[in-house]
Amino acid sequence: MRALSVASMIRRAVSAGQYAPGAKLNEVATAERLGVSRNTLREGFALLDADGIIDRVPNRGVFIATPTPESVRDLYRAREIVEPAALRWGRDLDSAALDAMDGAVHSAETALVDGDFTAVGLGNQKFHRAVVAAAGSALLDEEVERLLARMRLVFLLAERANAEFHRPFVAVNRTITDLAMSGDREAAADRLRESITSTGSDLEHLVTLFRTE
C-alpha cells in the first residue's frame, strides 16, 4: 500500500510539471523527501516503470521517461476514444460536472489574459480530468491519472518548442463546454474528438523532430 502511495505522489508531481523528461531521480534524496524507505521507493518505481512514467536504466539509475512518437500515438488513440465517450454517454455529466468543466476553462481564460501559460496548461489538464470524471467511474479516473501524467511529459516537450502551446485549447475547450452545457452532447463529443486527433498528430510529429535533434 505504501508503494502505491509513493507512485501516486510522484505521478501527481509529474502531472504538475515538477519533473522534466529525462530528469534523473536520486534514490536517496527522493526517499528522504517522501519519508519512505529505499525499498518502498523501489517498489513505487516498479509501478511507475510499468506505467511508462519512468525508465530504469541498469548501472545508471532511474529517469523520468522521455516520450516517443509511438507512446504519443498510443496515448492519443486512447484519449480519442475515452474522453468523447465520457462526454457523450457519461452518467455523471450533471450540473456539477459541467460546472467543473466551466471552472477549468475559466481559470485557463484568466491565466491567458495574465500571460501565465503554465497556469493555462494546468487549466487545460483540469478540463480533461473533469471530462473523464463525467463518466462516473473511479476505475477510469485512476487510469486517466496515469495517462495524464504521461501526457504532461509530452506537453513539457511541446512547451520547449512553443511556450504558448496551450493557447489554442482555451477557445476549443470553451466551445466544447458551451455545447455540453446547452445539452448538445454529440456535438461536444465530436468537437473534442476532432481536437484530440489533430493534437495527437501534431505532437507525434513534434516528438519525432525532438528525438532526431
Reference 27, options 12, 38, 14; nearest CA is 38
SS3 63: strand
* Residues 171 and 85 both lie in one domain: yes
Please give the pLDDT value at position 212. 64
- Distance from C-alpha of 33 to C-alpha of 41, rounded to nearest angstrom: 11
Residues 158, 140 share a domain: yes
- One domain, residues 89 and 173: yes
Exposed / middle / buried, residue 174 (Cβ in 10 Å: 0-12, 13-18, 19+):
middle
Cell of residue 164, nine digits:
504558448
How many helical (H) and strand (E) elements, i.e. helices and strands, does the chain have?
A: 9, 3
How far apart are the C-alpha atoms of 134 and 203, rounded to whole Å? 26
Taking the C-alpha atoms of residue 65 and residue 22, their distance in angstroms, rounded to an integer, is 6
Nearest one of 107, 134, 125, 124 to 189, comparing CA atoms: 134
The neighbouring-strand residues paired with 24 are 63
Coil vs helix vs strand at 182: coil
* Neighbour order of strands in the sheet with 24-25: 24-25, 61-64, 54-57
Cell output for 23: 530528469
Q: Are residues 107 and 188 in the same domain?
A: yes
Number of compact structural domains in the chain: 2
What per-residue confidence (pLDDT) applies to 213? 61
User: What's the pTM?
Assistant: 0.85
User: Which CATH number is 75's domain given?
Assistant: 1.20.120.530
Say if CB 120 and CB 170 are below 8 A apart.
yes
Q: What is the pLDDT along the chain (213 residues), one digit of tens a residue?
A: 588 888 888 888 887 778 888 889 988 898 999 889 999 999 989 988 888 888 998 889 899 988 999 999 999 999 999 999 999 999 999 999 999 999 999 999 999 999 999 899 999 999 999 999 999 999 998 888 888 888 888 998 898 889 899 999 999 999 999 999 999 999 999 999 999 999 999 999 999 887 666
Claim to verify: residue 159 and residue 79 sit in the same structural domain: yes
Q: Is the Cα torsion angle 160, 164, 169, 174 positive or negative in sign?
A: positive
- Please report, for the domain that includes residue 41, its CATH number: 1.10.10.10
Shared domain for 51 and 79, answered yes or no, is no
Give the domain range for residue 114.
Answer: 69-212
* Domain stops at, among 32, 64, 96: 64
Is residue 136 located within the same domain as residue 208?
yes
How far apart (Å, rounded) are the C-alpha atoms in residues 146 and 156? Answer: 16
Looking at the structure, do residues 18 and 41 belong to the same domain, yes or no? yes
